[in-house]
Amino acid sequence: MSEKDSRQRGGLVGPIILIGLGIIFLLNNLGLLSWSIWGTLLRMWPILLVAAGLDLILGRRSVWGSLLALVLTLAIFGVALWLSGTEVGIGRQMRKEEIIQSREEAEQAQIVVDPGVGTLRIEAASDSTTSLVEGTARVARGEELTRSFTVEDDRGTFVLRTQTGSFGPFATGWDGQRLWELRLSPEVPLRLETNLGLGETTLDLTGLTVDRIDVEQGLGQARITFPEEGRFEARVEGAIGQTILVIPEALAAQIRLDTGISGRQIPDDYRCEEDVCTSPDYGTADHRVDLEVSQAIGNVAITH
């Protein structure tokens, strides 16, 4: 082989990584692999830098060098994966904080929840509660949980988020440890906004009175169960992952879809024209939702 051909030879690491990512996406879309795998993979992003370096040093020299670079990359990935499952990992020290916010004088409320990464679960509180929000949040070392509540006229605004999250191959991410569980008052009309960069969002809004819902999901899965009653608007945006929307049969819906290269699963009784799908009784229903859904890569499933 000539010197020119040798210089043009590419390594194996890059193509193998692309093939592997494509296989993972395929298994996600077929429902054979959980989207939670991306939480683990994203924490390993520095290994891409190591792989690129090994490919430059060894992979461009010969076929055997490419194989050696690939084996070393896989070995490093395996060790990092093992360490991330032990107490060696940075950010493994978690703390739980209680969340209790009273209604005070608020007759309606806007609630903003921004965990950054992890698992977020929200549902209705019991009718007997006097709190607007109650629950727990588990955060990692180095994070600061901030909360604020203001009341203007009769509208309360509650904001709950974290600052100074951790990143890297050993950072605690979507691994079941960073878990936020919140319960909202069913007595107060709500505007709910959630923002999760990486992880799993589960909103069971059954029994709640909502005016508007805004959900942003970066990478992972969002599952939203809408209330049976009310007239409200909702917006759900996802980048990579799966969005599952449970719309009760008693709730009519008009859905505007922007799904990029994502798959769609729509109930058979919905009428779809281009990117707008409408339930049969939407025009005359007392209870209905106007819903905007965008998902760049992954799958959108709408069910009853």
CA 240-264-197 angle, 5° bins: 20
Residues 26 and 172 in one domain: no
Last residue of a domain, one of 84, 114, 136: 84
- Average pLDDT for residues 185-189, to the nearest whole number? 94
The sign one gets for the Cα dihedral 207, 209, 211, 215 is: negative
Across 37-51, 71-85, 157-171, 258-272, the highest mean pLDDT is recorded for 258-272
pLDDT value of position 13: 63
Is the model's pLDDT at 14 over the cut of 80?
A: no
Per-residue model confidence as pLDDT tens digits over 133-158: 999 999 877 788 999 999 999 999 99
**Polymer length of the chain:** 304
Per-residue model confidence as pLDDT tens digits over 209-260: 999 999 999 888 999 999 999 999 999 999 888 899 999 999 999 999 999 8
What spatial distance separates the first Cα and last Cα of the chain, rounded to whole Å?
A: 63
- The Cα-based distances of 77 to 111, 193, 217, 254 in angstroms read 40, 36, 27, 45
Residues 123 and 39 in one domain: no
pLDDT value of position 88: 42
Per-residue model confidence as pLDDT tens digits over 76-127: 777 666 655 544 444 456 789 999 999 988 999 999 999 988 899 999 998 7
Residues 284 and 230 in one domain: yes
Beta pairing partners, 220: 199, 241
Residues 19 and 116 in one domain: no
Residues 13 and 160 in one domain: no
Residue 19's pLDDT band (cuts 50, 70, 90)? confident
pLDDT value of position 176: 56
pLDDT value of position 60: 62
89, part of any domain: no
Residue 45's pLDDT band (cuts 50, 70, 90)? low
Range of the domain at 215: 94-303
